[in-house]
Amino acid sequence: MTKLSVNINKIATLRNSRGGNNPDLVKVALDCERFGAQGITVHPRPDERHIRYQDTFDLKAVIATEFNIEGNCREQKFIDLVLANKPAQVTLVPDTEGQLTSNHGWDTIKEQAYLKEMVAIFKNAGIRVSIFVDPVIEMVEGALATGTDRIELYTEAYASTYHQNKEEAIAPYIAAAKKANELGLGINAGHDLDLHNLHYFAQQIPNLLEVSIGHALISDALYLGLENTIQQYLKQLV
């Protein structure tokens, strides 16, 4: 079964909007685990507009499932944060400064030397590494050369065209996943996956290990409740 890692950035955004500690981010993370999530994901950014750097330390101290820290490894503060916390997994995302949300994968060919260096830093610390990539065969092949353990397929393109033609939308992801399997790379996925498109994606992608879902899941929880929502997402992965 594909694991569900819940991204709790949006919980932090809500908390920060009033300046206090409501909702309590650590409690929500623990509740997500209690409700069945197999991992917790955070994506701290330099302006700390949602996840604060201190949150990462607080979460690391209590999380019993898999802890995944996403972010831009071009920021030294991010590198230091990951090495200080040693999560189960670090996901390297090529964000630019001030970027609202992740919107593209790494060019694993042009950035190969740099990514090799970054991957080695984290793997030498005993942290599993995943690289955010678009569903392009060449980018998957380039990822292998960096030494990464996994790739995370950036799924916005799939989600945006799923309702028009799901077979066409999934095709490049199947091809990328088959290549990753052939090369021995683990496969994660994330971005805009939801209760409408997740089941089909999970059924079509061979050996999908993990999905990281935040915005849609937290939005659904407003109507369905957090426990019920997590259970509904888990059902999509069976």
Catalytic residue list = 43, 70, 191
Short-list 188, 191, 193, 192, CA closest to 205: 188
Short-list 25, 29, 46, 26, CA closest to 38: 29
Q: DSSP letter at 205? A: S
| Strand residues in the chain grouped as ranges (E) | 3-7, 39-42, 66-71, 89-92, 128-133, 150-154, 186-190, 208-213
Decide if 91 contacts 68 (C-beta within 8 A): yes
Decide if 70 contacts 93 (C-beta within 8 A): yes
How long is the chain?
238
CB proximity list for 140: less than 8 A, separation 6 or greater:
108, 133, 151, 176, 179, 180, 183, 185
